[in-house]
């Protein structure tokens, strides 16, 4: 049964208790908020404008097992294949089984999916790389924005949801900070009101981290400015495990243009027949093989999983000394391209590229964080009272490589189960929270230190921890990251905080987690490719980092099985 979450909430049996605080206002955060709001008061923190969430940037679509030619088993098989042996099959099956309900819920919220009178639920389904059949529900080529706009509109009208724009979580408030003689627990967050610089201790009956991924740790990314790994870093500092951080998905096709380097060219374009080509300058080298190169790398050609396509593009660019390759859809019907991909058509046309007549210059770019905070299917982390949902998490769904359009689905399915678990728990007592202490700090003297460290971190991650890795590069990256974090920690300890400093602090935390995870994986698998270990081991496990008790900072690598 589909329930529209709107209107007046049910009476709260304990209106004096602390609200649920959700950090992040993308699809995961809004899904949790809307499922909670009929029973609890909710605060949602967004560190920039609400429209800047990564969800709004998603183009392709969301998986739904809806068609007569489809099945849960088929979706699970495709997810397992893409995940290169590291997908948790129980998680994959749970998400696939609930995919139809997720689509129905979004339709009930008013999401304007592209229609087809002959399609299931009246929806047009498209196909993307790694999928055996058409199972992607979409809203033209701006699915994420359509979904996000619909849910945000409902959240803004809901009397139980307090939406706070330009508020950033600084850190979690735990029993360790409160010096309470009890088992560890999360009691709230310190929140920075960015405009005023004021930090407030926000009490919470539960905290949900839904801050997205860590794409901004790389120089080139398809992600918005918000993707700085805030939730992952905060959970790690609070003692939670993180998993599979070495698996950063590089989207194969990001627009290569000096005026628009963060614009994604959706995989659905290849799903409809667009081809990847080398520029004409490579013709003497490839000869009779022709300029279309993907069939030489994989039998599935342009519809191979993203890691394979991204590595193939990277290989061809390095082999021929290219700045980019071409994505050509000019052989497809012009009217079809304009109607099904209006955003891409308009964006490229504004830059002088008519996709109905010309190929699009593209390069790979950091796109999705397949690892994150370890949670179960209810969003529970290792710290009671703390939950996480969406790209911030490692649930086992994505394994070593995310199957296209599984990300939005995970947000909706596990966002609902997270809310249900929060509602089922007794509410904790509400202790007095210590105010934020700025008595020993002063205003920053030179902001250039932050911008310089930010640029250096992103460049070294791009050069040393990118699509293809070596042990020597990773070790060099780790050495420099340690020096950077020492500088950043010193700056954090002595000056008043702002958003740039907090984001840099979180990015360097996540960068170290990525590099340490990559160093621990002595094989090539999925999104992690090492020249020193090109083979894939017959048996492998997820990588989980755990904080050691010695100093509370240096991680120890352990294997999580099962």
State the pLDDT confidence band at 78, using cuts at 50, 70 and 90. very high
Contacts 24+ apart (CB under 8 A), 452-456: 453/484, 453/487, 453/488, 453/504, 453/508, 454/500, 454/503, 454/504, 454/507, 456/480, 456/484
- Read off φ and ψ for residue 474, nearest 5 degrees: -65, -40
Residue with tokens 């619909």: 150
The residue among 396 and 55 whose pLDDT is bigger is 396
Residue 320, both tokens = 């021929």
Q: Cα(324)–Cα(129) distance, rounded to whole angstroms?
A: 21
Q: Cα(535)–Cα(396) distance, rounded to whole angstroms?
A: 22
Residue 475: is its pLDDT beyond 80? yes
DSSP string, 166-212: TEEEEEEEEHHHHT-SSS--EEEEEEEETTTTEEEEEE-SEEEE---
Q: Cα(246)–Cα(322) distance, rounded to whole angstroms?
A: 26
Q: What are the b/e assignments for 285-313, b being 16+ CB within 10 Å?
A: ebeeeebbbbeebeeebbbbbbbbbbbbb
State the pLDDT confidence band at 52, using cuts at 50, 70 and 90. confident
pLDDT of residue 558: 58
Residue 218: is its pLDDT beyond 50? yes
- Residues 241/247, Cβ–Cβ less than 8 Å: no
State the pLDDT confidence band at 404, using cuts at 50, 70 and 90. confident
The residue among 135 and 3 whose pLDDT is bigger is 135
- Residues 32/22, Cβ–Cβ less than 8 Å: yes
Q: Cα(464)–Cα(486) distance, rounded to whole angstroms?
A: 20
- Asked which of 152-166, 344-358, 399-413, 439-453 is least confident by mean pLDDT, the reply is 439-453
Neighbours of 250 (CB within 10 A): 26
Q: Which residues are catalytic?
A: 306
Residue with tokens 């099904």: 340
Element (H, E) at 21: strand 20-23
Average pLDDT of the residues in 465-477: 95
SS3 341: coil
Length reported for the chain: 562
- Asked which of 193-197, 373-377, 429-433, 521-525 is least confident by mean pLDDT, the reply is 429-433
Q: Answer yes or no: pTM beyond 0.85.
A: yes
The residue among 310 and 356 whose pLDDT is bigger is 356
- Residue 386 CA: distances (Å) to CA of 210, 433, 479: 11, 16, 32
For the chain, which domains are there? Answer: 20-243+370-424 (3.50.50.60), 250-366 (3.90.700.10), 445-534 (1.20.58.100)
Chain segment 14-42, per-residue pLDDT in tens: 666 899 999 999 999 999 999 999 999 99
pLDDT of residue 305: 79
Question: What radius of gyration, in Å, describes the C-alpha atoms of the chain?
Answer: 23
DSSP state of 532: S
Residue 366, both tokens = 């950091």
Residue 241: is its pLDDT beyond 60? yes
SS3 559: strand
Chain segment 103-138, per-residue pLDDT in tens: 999 999 999 999 989 889 999 998 887 899 999 999
Residue 493: is its pLDDT beyond 90? no
State the pLDDT confidence band at 6, using cuts at 50, 70 and 90. very low
Q: Cα(148)–Cα(154) distance, rounded to whole angstroms?
A: 10
Chain segment 284-303, per-residue pLDDT in tens: 766 555 689 999 999 999 98
- Residues 274/328, Cβ–Cβ less than 8 Å: yes
Average pLDDT of the residues in 346-367: 94
């Amino acid at each position: 049964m589909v329930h529209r979450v709107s209107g007046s909430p049910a009476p709260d049996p304990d209106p004096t208790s602390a609200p649920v605080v959700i950090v992040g206002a993308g699809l995961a955060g809004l899904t949790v908020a809307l499922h909670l709001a009929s029973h609890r008061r909710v605060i949602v923190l967004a560190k920039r404008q609400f429209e800047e969430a990564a969800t709004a940037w998603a183009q392709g679509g969301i998986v739904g097992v809806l068609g007569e030619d489809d099945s849960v088993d088929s979706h699970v098989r495709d997810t397992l294949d893409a995940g290169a042996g590291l997908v948790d099959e129980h998680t994959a099956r749970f998400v696939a089984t609930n995919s139809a309900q997720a689509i129905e819920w979004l339709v009930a919220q008013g999401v304007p999916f592209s229609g087809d009178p002959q399609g299931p639920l009246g929806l047009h389904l498209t196909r993307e790389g790694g999928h055996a059949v058409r199972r992607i529900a979409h809203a033209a080529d701006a699915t994420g924005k359509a979904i996000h706009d619909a849910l945000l509109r409902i959240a803004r009208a809901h009397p139980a949801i307090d939406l706070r724009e330009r508020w950033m979580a600084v850190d979690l408030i735990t029993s360790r900070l409160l010096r309470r003689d009890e088992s560890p627990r999360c009691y709230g967050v310190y929140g920075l009101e960015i405009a005023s610089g004021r930090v407030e201790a926000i009490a919470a009956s539960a905290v949900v981290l839904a801050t997205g991924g860590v794409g901004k740790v790389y120089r080139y990314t398809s992600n918005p400015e918000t993707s700085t790994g805030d939730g992952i870093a905060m959970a790690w500092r609070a003692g939670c495990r993180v998993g599979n951080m070495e698996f950063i998905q590089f989207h194969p096709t990001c627009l290569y243009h000096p005026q628009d380097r963060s614009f994604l060219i959706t995989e659905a374009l290849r799903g409809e027949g667009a081809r990847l080509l080398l520029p004409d300058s490579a013709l003497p080298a490839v000869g009779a093989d022709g300029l279309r190169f993907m069939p030489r790398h994989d039998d599935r050609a342009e519809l191979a999983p993203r890691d394979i396509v991204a590595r193939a593009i990277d290989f061809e660019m390095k082999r021929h000394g290219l700045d980019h390759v071409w994505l050509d859809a000019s052989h497809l019907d012009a009217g079809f391209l304009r109607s099904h991909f209006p955003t891409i058509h308009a964006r490229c046309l504004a830059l002088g590229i008519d996709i109905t007549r010309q190929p699009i210059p593209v390069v790979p770019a950091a796109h999705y964080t397949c690892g994150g905070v370890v949670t179960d299917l209810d969003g529970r982390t290792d710290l009671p009272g703390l939950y996480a949902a969406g790209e911030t998490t490692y649930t086992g769904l994505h394994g070593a490589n995310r199957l296209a359009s599984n990300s939005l689905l995970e947000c909706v399915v596990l966002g609902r189960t997270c809310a249900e678990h929060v509602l089922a728990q007794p509410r904790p007592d509400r202790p007095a929270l210590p105010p934020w202490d700025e008595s020993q700090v002063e205003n920053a003297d030179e902001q250039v230190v932050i911008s310089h460290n930010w640029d250096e971190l992103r460049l070294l991650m791009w050069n040393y921890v990118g699509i293809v890795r070596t042990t020597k590069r990773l070790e060099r990256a780790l050495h420099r990251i340690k020096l950077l974090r020492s500088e950043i920690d010193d700056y954090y300890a002595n000056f008043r905080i702002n958003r740039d400093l907090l984001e840099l602090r979180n990015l360097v935390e996540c960068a170290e987690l990525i590099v340490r995870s990559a160093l621990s994986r002595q094989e090539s698998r999925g999104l992690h490719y090492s020249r020193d270990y090109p083979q894939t081991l017959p048996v492998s496990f997820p990588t989980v980092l755990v904080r050691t008790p010695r100093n509370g900072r240096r991680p120890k690598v352990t294997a999580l099985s099962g």
